[in-house]
Structure 1
Amino acid sequence: IFFLDRCSSIIRMYNLTHVSEFHLMGFSDDPDLQLVLFGLFLPMYLITVLGNLLLILAVSSDPHLHTPMYFFLSNLSLADICLTSTTVPKMIVDILTHNRVISYVGCLTQMSLFMGFACMDDMLLTVMAYDRFVAICHPLHYAVTVSAHRCALLLLASVFLSLHTEIANFFCDPSQLLNLSCSDPLLNSVVTYIVGVMFGFFPLLGIFFSYYKIVSSVLKIPSSEGRYKAFSTCSSHLSAVCLFYGTGIGVYFGSDVSYSSITGMEASLMYTVVTPMLNPFIYSLRNRDISRTLKRILSWRA
């Protein structure tokens, strides 16, 4: 917002046209592909929303799942729904109406919401790594260390930290929007990397530290069955972390020289649509408690 406001003031200073809207590039201008794109993205969005809602319902309806791990998981599902909903509905409407214009205010609003929910995803994945670290490395102190009161504080901290012309993408991607600002490009790069370090490097460093301790503790378990059970509790979380961070790093820390519009959109699609859609399957298919609860819910509904 600071950069765009500065840009607007410079434009008014030189008596130029005020920026009132942006044009999103989209995936294709081919009219024959529009129905294909619509048929692809609408089911993906519905699967994302319904899958994550089912996960939230499973956790809330089963008293056995009222534990810190599933508490954070249900909030991650909620953040995934909100993250996807900030971008995909607008994209689907654009495909149907053949209109890729977004207003200045609408673009800033979308960017702010996207950044907020993406950072919330980031923080929750870090908190979940801490939860696994305490559960495996300090199991006797787990109930005290990760109490209900502390879970609520960690969630509030995650939420609090999250509030902090043509765009080559299908939504108002901050990395592309900064390229249009009238401020010093070096300053834009510095701000981008500072935000990346705060909400990318430090949380990822915390996750690495947690899993370093987890691996060290698990390797000390004498039985192979015990080691397998300990590692299996972390596999779903590790899969979600790799999906989220792998695509995010590819977008925001890729070289400007090798960056292309299509590549950027494909990577953005991964962490804004594909990752939130896959998370419910990752956690439900690899978790017996959730799978059992979902089967009971679905059979009761039937």
Structure 2
Amino acid sequence: MPPHSNGSLSVVPLQEFVLEGFEGGREIQALLFAVFLALYVVAVLGNLSMIVLISLDARLHSPMYFFLKNLSFLDLCYSSVIAPNALANFLSLSKVITFEGCAAQLFFFSLLVTTEGFLLSVMAYDRFVAICSPLLYPVTMCPSACTRLVLGTYCGGCLNAIVQTSSTFRLPFCASHIDHFFCDVPPLLQLACTNTALNELLLFGICGLIIVGTTLVVLISYGYITVTILRMHSAAGRHKVFSTCGSHMTAVSLFYGTVFVMYAQPGAVESMRQGKVVSVFYTLVIPMLNPLIYSLRNKDVQAALRRLSQKLTVM
């Protein structure tokens, strides 16, 4: 790639970036390493446990748990895209990441996070069909339909990842120090030597459209679900439905809330110090919390855990 020219400034293509991460001396870095490691280990163990449990227990082979298994897979993958490199940088003096490595990290992170946003809306639609049209549920949410829905979420995530990564890494960069602990669009735009208005429009426009669209699907689905629940005569039935939907609504609120703060509001690019804290929440805390949210409030998952533990005890 030839050097770019920006007026009197010659911009040489970068071979690597430096991820500055969080400020502080060795003690602070060691503390952050311990916190990140604890969050990541719990996230990995929790999501792997959900994947194994749903795969092994035949009673959990339903559309709802098929989607939940895919959610755990996404949480496991996108936290793994960020955490290992961040942990290594806490103990490193150079904190260097190659140009290609940075682009790959951004691509896979965008792919997985966008896919999770779509998947959460699909899970809301699944609950809507199950509760509001139970007789049509086996046909509407048959295995082939569930597979197509999941593949569709990945296609949407891949499309957004291609757009964001290609538009960002076509920019000429004047500096190599990224004010973040991983490669993301907002901190990379701060290093560009040219006008980034189009890139910011793509970021806010596409991410905002995705968030608003998927949120509308969730709200409409749960609007119909709420009406159906209020018409139920059985208090036990209402409690069971509220318990199942409550877990999903908690996960949706946490995910969409933090992603909206980071990507779908003007000024997010400039407020990177606050953005780093928000990023920790949706890259590590939410993947750690999701298995707990769905297991602690779900009697089917708790029963499956007991059956699995009994089998392991016998063995």
How high is the TM-score relative to the length of structure 2? Answer: 0.88
- Residues 21/12 of structure 1: CA separation in 2 closer, same or farther (3 Å cut): farther
The residue aligned with 1:157 is 152
Answer yes or no: is 1:260 the counterpart of 2:245. no
Deviates more, 1:264-273 or 1:36-45: 36-45
Match of residue 22, structure 1, among 17, 29, 47? 17
Could you tell me whether the CA contact under 8 Å between 1:94 and 1:100 is conserved in 2? yes
Displacement, 1:14? Answer: 5.9
Structure whose residues are more often helix by fraction? 1
User: Which structure ranks higher in relative contact order (CA pairs < 8 Å, sequence separation ≥ 6)?
Assistant: 1
Deviates more, 1:66-75 or 1:256-265: 256-265
Cα distance in 1 between the residues matched to 2:299 and 2:62: 15
Q: Per-residue CA shift, 1:243-277, capped at 9, x if unaligned? A: 11111111113442895333111100111000000
Answer yes or no: is 1:177 the counterpart of 2:188. yes
The residue aligned with 1:239 is 250
Could you tell me whether the CA contact under 8 Å between 1:12 and 1:18 is conserved in 2? no
Cα distance in 1 between the residues matched to 2:194 and 2:233: 59
The residue aligned with 1:146 is 141
The residue aligned with 1:202 is 213
Matches within 5 A, 1:1-302: 9-10=4-5, 15-164=10-159, 165-256=176-267, 260-302=271-313
- Residues 216/274 of structure 1: CA separation in 2 closer, same or farther (3 Å cut): same
Q: Per-residue CA shift, 1:52-101, capped at 9, x if unaligned? A: 01001110111110000000000110011110011110000111223322
> Identity of counterpart residues, as a percentage?
39
The SS at the match of 2:190 is helix
Aligned residues: 297
> Which residue identity is paired with 2:196?
P
Cα distance in 2 between the residues matched to 1:292 and 1:129: 23
> Which residue identity is paired with 1:178?
L
Can you give the 5+ residue segments of structure 2 that lack an aligned partner in the other structure? 160-175
Deviates more, 1:117-126 or 1:248-257: 248-257
Q: Per-residue CA shift, 1:81-128, capped at 9, x if unaligned? A: 110011110000111223322111111110000000001111110110
Aligned-residue CA RMSD (Å): 2.2
Cα distance in 2 between the residues matched to 1:197 and 1:260: 18
The SS at the match of 2:262 is helix
Cα distance in 1 between the residues matched to 2:54 and 2:290: 15
Can you give the 5+ residue segments of structure 1 that lack an aligned partner in the other structure? none
Could you tell me whether the CA contact under 8 Å between 1:19 and 1:104 is conserved in 2? yes
Deviates more, 1:95-104 or 1:40-49: 95-104
- Residues 8/112 of structure 1: CA separation in 2 closer, same or farther (3 Å cut): farther
Cα distance in 1 between the residues matched to 2:246 and 2:47: 19
The SS at the match of 2:18 is strand
How high is the TM-score relative to the length of structure 1? Answer: 0.91
